[in-house]
Structure 1
Amino acid sequence: MYPSRLFRTLEAAAVSLFFVQAARVLFSVLFGVIYDTIFSATVAFSTLGFIMLCLIAAFLTSLVTPRRRPRFWLFATAVVAALARVFLTLNQPPVRLWSSLLVVAAAGGYFAALLRWRPRIFPTALLLAFAADQFLRTAGDTYDVSLRAGWLPVQVVLGLLIGWVAWLAFLHNQAEPREEEGIGVMGGLAVGALLFLETSLLGLPNALARWSRVDYTVVAPLLMGVTLLPHMPGLHLPRGGGARLGQLGGLPYLLIALLGLVIGAGGGGASSVLGLLVTQFLVLMALPDTIAPRRSDRTGIALAVGFLLFLVLNFALAFAFTYPYTIPAFRGMGLYVFVVAAAIACLSILRPVHLAQVPKLESSWHWLSAALVVLVTVFLAWPPSLDLQETGPVCVATYNMHYGYNTVWQLSLEEQARTIEESGADIVTLQEVDAGRITSYGVDNALWLARRLGMQEVYGPALEGLSGIALLTRFPIAETDTQLLVSHLEQTAIVHARVMVGIRPLDAYGVWLGLEPQERERQLNHALSIIGDATPAVLGGDFNATPDSPTYARIQAAGFDDPFVVGGFDPSLTSPAIGPAERIDFVWARGLEVQDARVLGSLASDHRLVVTELILP
């Protein structure tokens, strides 16, 4: 690879990575803005409307990128994206909102100039960005290390380095002619769909692990290897005339990609993860086909249409999670959104074959480089040692973790982990737990907390396999189980772990109950039927019901004790965290002696943590 092309590829890969990170940050911050506008009324609708207009404008900058002087615009937009990316590291929602919009806007202009001047670099840059994003997230146990406070000096240096590389690319590309290829509207749609798939499912090893129910430690390096495969020289999808599968054109690959998604959604273990990895491979292999001989310059329109599709798909998926409060018809529609996206991402392989000369790594070291990256990923994904407890007393806590946010929508996972440490809890039931949504930075909340605390985790998916409840424990686990509860509105679940306290079993259950009284009654009756007469047992959760409610009385009637009442402790209020007004978070105990019960004052979530100390009689 010539130095001029190397500099441009590095620059393009960095801008692509910044774009992927900024898009994730943007949707995460926007989630908080929309929530505060609709549910808490702390943000005016006019403010939300202005932000949405800025959002759309940021994704449409390709329409106004000048056709002349592409080298200058590549340099200028790369520098702006690199500088704005520095501010994403600051965990302040307003700063992240406007800096992510600036990164997206600059990247849109950069992509338009790149696709007019050096279109063959675009697929390679995007593929490298996807791999780099996976690497950074794996290094942080699904929480992108480059978004942590300690990363700021590193990001400043990287920003300066990318600026220098952009300057070198500007100087070394003066004599190179413009390439006679580009991207059309179909290619733009494919790029938008691919970006959605990578940031919402296929590029997230934790999301694939949750969908397939295969251990994250196994999935992360496998996904990295599959993501790197399209970089390998000479690797392409065979197409053309004939009767064999590889010679039927692009349609079989599209159908296989869709089938892989459907199989992956089934949670069938090895077959599911294989299906998802095959889909990942095929949609990435289709990316170079978005570059085709140029008939006319539709680059700006193509990118704008693709980015609008990216927005539409993200909002459609959001409706699949928030259907009770938005569009009820979207209940259970998440898989269909992904299938539509995969079909669009593979559209380019249906066209007549055009093998663009996409630059790849030199054959003398490409396999070694890929193997090294996968090996490092194995190391990064390897779980830390567990800090197990063998005997009692048993400290049980419940914590509505608000998807990892505090009340003002700062990502506060580290503060939440310290709150759990301060409580001394050996068992923690968690509610509002995301496992890979773009609206919560793609983090797997339960996995991250478990690794941070040296605990084991049991995840109970309720919505689209990527949002639900969880249970953490330090005691050895004998068996686990999760079941969906009868839900007419927001789907919820119950999570169960039978743990061994010494030689004695203890059944621990966690739930989140709905917002409407009739819904809570249905869900609680179902949950209690699952629990049965298990004793000794603890039941923790956000019940969305106060001590004077039928829900509270029904749990008491099932033989569970409120440790605050039994032990004579002050029943402090739990929600909201700032200025709590009601007590709706409980740890219930049956067949156990109460030693202590308290509510911590931490503001790391929008609820307060409740912890009880219990003894097996």
Structure 2
Amino acid sequence: MEQDREHRRAARVLFASLVIVFGLQSMRFLFASLAWYLRDTVGIGVLDLIPIALAPFLLAAVLPIAARWVGFRNALTIGVFLLIAARLLNQIASDPGLELWFAAGATLAFVGLLPFLLTLGRSAIVAGVLIGIAIDSGIKGLGMSLDLAYQPGWRPVVAVAALGAALAWAFSALGGVRVQGVGWRSGLPLLGLAPFLFIQMLLLQNQGWTSAVTGVSGPTAQLRIAILNVVAIYLAHRLAGNRVVFIVSLALLVVTVIAAEGSAGLYNVLSVLAIPAAALVWAGIVPEPGTDRLGIASTYLIASATVFLIFGLAYYVPLDMSLGFEGAAVRIAAGIGVGILGLAALPNIPSFPAIGRADWLLAGVVAVLPIVAFISAAAVETTEKAELDEPIRFVSYNIHSAFNPSGTLDLDAIAQVIEDTRADVVGLQELPRGRLLSGNTDMLTLLQLELGFEHVAYFGTTDPVWGNAVLSRYPIVAVETDYLPKVGTPMQRGSLGATIRAGDREILVISTHLQHVNDSDLHDADPEADLLPVHQEQIAEILEAWSGRQPAVLLGDFNARPDWAQIGILLDAGWLDVWDEAGVGDGFTSNSVDPRYRIDYIFHTGDMAATDAGVIQSLASDHLAVVADLVFEG
């Protein structure tokens, strides 16, 4: 009898865990599809996207409502079937429009199933969420942060099918389930699911954020996260229910969220402590079911999932329009929200743990996946040049977050473009290291491993995980970063300076990205007049940081055409355009589908000369890469 009860409990925890895994994968994909397919490819405005984004979250209420009419078990069956089918179809589909629909369907099913998880018992939703996060992170770790949904070929399809089969088996093994719920007061802390998941996805489980802020390598960051997830579940097993531990954990979590863009040393320590702290907070705020009604839990959990979406929208929409606040304020609000809801749960923290020994052992098995990836990354062969080998080949490439003009993420295509150039030094723009808008993918680490660059430098401008990079075969001996003036525009831009050593010469390489639009109405009529006031100040900042040093190379997306005044400012300051020296043809770089403008450049100082320059034709990004060979004069 006791053994049967343990088997049912294990099945319920596994069921909840796999629901969480499919849910997190689907929500990440949905966020990216909204941004890159509907916004960029289809051209739907930001404000028009909001109701579309809300639809699957709000419509999820259909599942618990249906339980009143078709029965609890039948509604649960419908939700499980929809989640598995939509997630599998999302993996199989190649059309970005269909992928969006399937991701939305899987998200709807996931959100609708959340109240059903609570009816399986407190242990199912507490352990299920924590183990689900650990499994999801382990799977992403095996792909070095690249989600299964973005991985091509049959193997990811088989992996998703296997996860779906495991979910179906766990569902069949649930046994008899009775409806359980919470009251209005006791269930209030369930709203903490929204900031909890947002913080996990934005920060704690984010390989790129951890690496960018602390300075550890991407593979090391992912391995650390996987190990800490096991530790977190173990500590939740041992310490949940202790009010002092709960209060300390809550304070640690809030402080970590607030300090997430601060000191590297401080965040390095806090991020290690915050993953176990978050697990203890989650174990403390989930109430024990005490009613036989599903409605209140449904209201809280579906509302909480919708608030998660609102957090995500509020974090990224200010990059497109001025709202009076920035993403950092949303991040801090999520931390404060967890703190408030945690304090609300304090009087009613259950005195017994909801996590069993088998739960953290399962998380420990999953942690093997990032270990495999870590070993594989360590075995990657890199190419390094110590002595000067002329000409030095430079590449400038705005990779558009690796989303092609069709709205599909294809990092392999980006890597192929760069590899085909046989570049020595590459300057990248619009490179994400873990944005929710880009599937939380650490693209710098993936490109570095794929292309074998020994040395990289990165500067996150809008936040630590979106900005500019320099990849180099030559050693990088110094790095400097500079935020560019916003001049009333919503998006923070920046420039990254990496000094490379080629033999006995040191070359300053600056990768930058200027503002693309200021006033949309004026931009349509006269783009030069629209951008000139902004570009003048941004270029002045770049020139001041450069301070006339030679030799130097300035490359990037300048969002300005060759005959515009802002390019004239650079030329007057002493920079030379490689296209004027060695380019053939018009050199158009934008848009890659129908190139009409040259807005991406490679400039250099007068002690160097361009012997060749070209543009690489490709649809991997919405920009074309610029390539130039440079030699030293004299």
TM-score normalised by L of structure 1: 0.89
**In the alignment, does 2:276 pair up with 1:277?**
no
Aligned CA distance change for structure 1 residues 224 and 308 (closer, same or farther; 3 Å): same
1:522 CA drift (Å): 0.6
Runs of 5+ consecutive residues of structure 1 not aligned to the other structure:
none
Q: 1:568 to 1:28 in 2, by over 3 A?
A: closer
1:351 aligns with 2:354: no
Counterpart for residue 496 of structure 1: 497
Q: Is the 8 Å Cα contact of residues 39 and 45 (structure 2) preserved in structure 1?
A: no
Q: CA deviation at 1:22?
A: 0.4
**Partners of 1:615 and 1:221 in 2: CA distance:** 42
1:161 maps to 2:165: yes
Partners of 2:371 and 2:571 in 1: CA distance:
53
The alpha-carbon distance between structure 1 residues 373 and 568, as it changes in their structure 2 partners (threshold 3 A), is closer
Q: CA shift at 1:381, angstroms? A: 6.0
The structure-2 alpha-carbon separation of the partners of 1:162 and 1:70, relative to structure 1 and needing over 3 Å to count, comes to farther
Residue 551 (structure 2) aligns with: 536
Q: In the TM superposition, what whole-angstrom CA distance separates every residue of 1:555-607 from its partner, at most 9, and x where no partner exists? A: 11222211121125223211111111111100112221211100111111011
Matched to 2:272, the amino acid is L
Distance 2:352 2:553 in 1: 61
Identity %: 21
Give the Cα–Cα distance (whole angstroms) in 2 for the partners of residues 331 and 373 of structure 1. 32
The aligned amino acid for 1:116 is T
Distance 1:526 1:345, change over 3 A: same
Is 1:229 equivalent to 2:231 in the alignment? yes
- What SS does structure 1 have at the residue aligned with 2:594? coil
Q: Which residue of 1 aligns with 2:207?
A: 205
- Please give the alpha-carbon distance, in whole angstroms, between the structure 2 residues aligned to 1:472 and 1:364: 39
Match in the other structure for 1:113: 116
Match for residue 14 of structure 1 among 12, 15, 18: 18
From the superposition, tell whether residues 363 and 31 of structure 1 become closer, same or farther in structure 2 (CA, over 3 Å).
closer
- Which residue of structure 2 aligns with residue 259 of structure 1? 255
- CA 1:375–1:597 in structure 2 vs 1: closer, same or farther (change >3 Å)? closer
The separation in 2 between residues aligned to 1:225 and 1:78, in whole angstroms, is 30
For residues 75-94 of structure 1, the aligned pairs below 5 Å read: 75-89=77-91, 90-94=93-97
1:416 to 2:420 alignment = no
2:360 is the alignment partner of 1:361: no
Q: In structure 2, which of residues 397, 400, 405 is the aligned counterpart of residue 399 of structure 1?
A: 397
Given residue 28 of structure 1, which amino acid in structure 2 is its aligned partner? A
Post-superposition shift, 1:384? 2.8
Cα distance in 2 for residues equivalent to 1:288 and 1:452: 39
Instruction: For residue 88 of structure 1, report the CA deviation from its aligned partner.
Output: 2.3
Separation in structure 2 between the aligned mates of residue 364 and residue 595 of structure 1, nearest angstrom: 60
Alpha-carbon distance, 1:45 to partner: 8.9
- What is aligned with 2:626? 610
Give me the whole-angstrom Cα distance separating, in 2, the residues matched to 1:193 and 1:401. Answer: 31
In the alignment, the residues of structure 1 paired with residue 254 and residue 121 of structure 2 have an alpha-carbon distance, to the nearest angstrom, of: 31
**C-alpha distance in structure 1 between counterparts of 2:317 and 2:379, whole Å:** 33
Aligned to 1:431: 429
* Counterpart residue identity of residue 466, structure 2: S
* Equivalent residue number for residue 482 of structure 1: 481
- The change in CA–CA distance for 1:344 and 1:73 in structure 2 (over 3 A counts) is farther
> 1:574 is matched with which residue: 575, 582, 589?
589
SS of equivalent residue, structure 1 residue 292: coil
Other structure's SS at 1:120 match = helix
Shift of 1:415: 0.4
Unaligned runs of 5+ in 2: 517-530
Q: Which residue of 148, 152, 157 maps to 1:149? A: 152
What is the aligned length?
601
Q: Which amino acid aligns with 2:418?
A: I
Shift of 1:231: 2.5
Say if 2:184 is the partner of 1:188: no
Deviation at 1:401, TM superposition (A): 0.9
Q: Distance in 2 between matches of 1:521 and 1:598?
A: 27
Shift in Å, 1:279: 2.5
CA distance in 2, matches of 1:486, 1:365: 50
* Per-residue deviation, 1:332: 4.8
* 2:264 aligned counterpart, secondary structure: coil
Find the aligned partners of 1:556 and 1:180 in 2 and give their Cα distance.
69
Alignment correspondent of 2:135: 132
Partner Cα distance (2:197, 2:361) in 1? 28
Shift of residue 611, structure 1, vs aligned partner? 0.5
**Kept in 2: contact 1:316–1:337 (CA 8 A):** no
2-side partners of 1:211 and 1:480: how far apart?
15
Report the Cα distance in structure 2 between the residues aligned to 1:367 and 1:462, rounded to whole angstroms.
35
Residues in 1 aligned to 2:217 and 2:99: alpha-carbon distance in whole angstroms: 32
The 1:47–1:348 alpha-carbon spacing in structure 2 relative to 1, beyond 3 Å, is closer
Q: Distance in 2 between matches of 1:404 and 1:608?
A: 12
Letter in 1 for 2:425: I
Quote the residue 2:382 is aligned against. 386
How much has 1:483 moved relative to structure 2? 1.8
Paired residue secondary structure (1:57): helix
Secondary structure, counterpart of 1:442 in structure 2: coil
Is 1:196–1:341's contact at 8 Å kept on the other side of the alignment?
A: no
Residues 397-453 of structure 1, C-alpha deviations (whole Å, 9 max, x = no match): 111111111112110211011011112221111111222111111112222211211
